[in-house]
């Protein structure tokens, strides 16, 4: 029995139609941040596969973890209609991007050497000298070495974590839609910063301290001896807390733009939008945080400006996409 050309074309069209319907059925519950998270995972998985020789011996395991997370997120979204109101799974459906931040951030330190060997800090150190006539990240602390002032800056820097967790929890208890909006935009800002870190690795002023990364600065900008933290600064409790956090979670090459600045300013936006009773206090704290990134020697001053610009751009783009793909199931 022969099959005509028209019959074959009909079978092909039918197959494509069914595939199209199946695809749209699979993603019908996706929101903006679901697309953004899945796309980010796909991009980084491709980078792992392309640069396997530079990623390390565990590149295959890392790729497998990426694919597993990709599938787990899809299953979580696909089955959201089964979740009971107030259940742990319903909370996880809204919350799931937040636990991924640490893993995504940490792996930028491995992936940023796939396309480049070394870091772009010499350019930024020379740029700071050209723009400001000094290294603000060194001079700032030297000008104000007192323990009280230093603790104010280190507390402000630490408040970054409280801004994300605190504003997020408040909005979750207040209104699920507002919480989902918050998580979506903050996650998008993070993903944009992480991608920049992969393709533009910059360590920040910490590169001036020997042993932070295996990278030798050119002789014209290398210091004879590493900068010294005043004893009054080192005696502070929050100086010690931040030292522990950086020792455990820091990813080399994640300085430009400052995600601390970008994300902190993003959380301020949500205070002005949804939590107006704290908006001015939050704004002042965020400004102190921006200054602390330089004072505490984690960022170049240009990283702060870049972080603010990143927040402005990603907030605008993120909001447009969020409301375009808003999920009516989020209540």
Both structure tokens of 157: 């820097």
Total structural domains within the chain: 1
199 located within any domain: yes
Q: How far apart are the first and last CA of the chain?
A: 56
Model pLDDT for residues 48-82, shown as the tens digit of each residue: 999 988 888 889 999 999 999 999 999 999 888 77
What burial class does residue 71 get, using C-beta atoms within 10 Å of its C-beta: 0-12 exposed, 13-18 middle, 19+ buried? Answer: exposed
Specify whether the CB–CB gap between 215 and 207 falls below 8 A: yes
285 located within any domain: yes
227 located within any domain: yes
Host domain of residue 282: 26-324
Q: Distance between CA atoms of 10 and 2, rounded to whole angstroms?
A: 15
Task: Evaluate if residue 168 carries a pLDDT over 90.
Answer: yes
191 located within any domain: yes
Q: How many alpha carbons lie under 13 Å from residue 281 in its C-beta half-sphere?
A: 7
Q: What is the mean pLDDT of residues 18-42?
A: 81
Task: Evaluate if residue 24 carries a pLDDT over 80.
Answer: no
Q: How many alpha carbons lie under 13 Å from residue 307 in its C-beta half-sphere?
A: 27
2 located within any domain: no
3-state SS record for the chain: CCCCHHHHHHHHHHHHHHHHHHHHHHCCCCCHHHHHHHHHHHHHHHHHHHCHHHHCCCHHHHHHHHHHHHHHHHHHHHCHHHCCCCCHHHHHHHHCHHHHHHHHHHHHHHHCCCCCCCCCHHHHHHHHHHHHCCCHHHHHHHHCCCHHHHHHHHHHHHHHHHHHHHHHHHHHHHCHHHHHHHHHHHHHHHHHHHHHHHHCCECCHHHHCCCCCCCCCCCCCCCCCCCCCCHHHHCCHHHHHHHHHHHHHCCCCECCCCHHHHHHHHHHHHHHHHCHHHHHHHHHHHHHHHHHHHHCCCCCHHHHHHHHHHHHHHHHHHHHHHHHCCCCCCC
14 located within any domain: no
Confidence band (pLDDT; 50, 70, 90) for 87?
A: confident
Task: Evaluate if residue 209 carries a pLDDT over 90.
Answer: no
Specify whether the CB–CB gap between 184 and 32 falls below 8 A: yes
Specify whether the CB–CB gap between 255 and 167 falls below 8 A: no
CB atoms within 10 A of CB 142: 11
291 located within any domain: yes
Q: State what percent of residues in the chain have pLDDT above 70.
A: 91
Task: Evaluate if residue 309 carries a pLDDT over 60.
Answer: yes
21 located within any domain: no
Model pLDDT for residues 4-21, shown as the tens digit of each residue: 655 555 555 565 666 566
Confidence band (pLDDT; 50, 70, 90) for 28?
A: confident
């Amino acid at each position: 029995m022969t099959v005509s050309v028209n019959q074959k074309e009909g079978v092909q069209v039918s197959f494509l139609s069914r595939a199209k319907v199946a695809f749209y059925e699979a993603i019908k519950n996706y929101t903006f941040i679901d697309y953004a998270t899945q796309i980010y995972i796909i991009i980084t998985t491709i980078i792992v596969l392309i640069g396997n020789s530079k990623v390390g011996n565990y590149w295959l395991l890392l790729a497998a973890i990426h694919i597993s997370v990709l599938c787990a997120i899809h299953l979580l979204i696909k089955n959201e209609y089964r979740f009971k109101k107030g259940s742990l799974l319903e909370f996880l459906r809204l919350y799931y991007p937040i636990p991924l931040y640490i893993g995504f951030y940490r792996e930028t330190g491995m992936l940023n050497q796939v396309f480049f060997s070394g870091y772009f800090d010499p350019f930024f150190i020379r740029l700071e000298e050209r723009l400001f006539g000094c290294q603000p990240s060194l001079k700032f602390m030297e000008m104000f070495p007192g323990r009280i002032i230093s603790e104010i800056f280190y507390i402000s820097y630490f408040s970054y974590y409280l801004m994300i967790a605190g504003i997020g929890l408040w909005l979750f208890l207040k209104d699920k839609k507002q919480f989902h909006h918050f998580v979506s935009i903050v996650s998008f800002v993070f993903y944009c910063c992480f991608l920049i870190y992969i393709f533009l690795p910059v360590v920040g002023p910490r590169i001036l301290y020997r042993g932070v990364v295996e990278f030798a600065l050119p002789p014209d900008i290398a210091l004879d001896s590493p900068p010294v933290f005043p004893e009054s600064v080192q005696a502070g409790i929050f100086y010690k807390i931040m030292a522990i956090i950086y020792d455990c979670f820091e990813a080399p090459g994640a300085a430009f733009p400052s995600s601390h600045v970008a994300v902190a300013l993003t959380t301020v936006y949500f205070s002005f939008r949804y939590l107006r009773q704290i908006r001015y206090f939050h704004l002042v704290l965020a400004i102190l945080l921006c200054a602390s990134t330089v004072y505490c020697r984690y960022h170049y001053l240009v990283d702060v400006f870049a972080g603010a610009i990143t927040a402005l751009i990603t907030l605008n783009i993120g909001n447009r996409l969020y409301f375009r793909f808003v999920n009516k199931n989020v209540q």
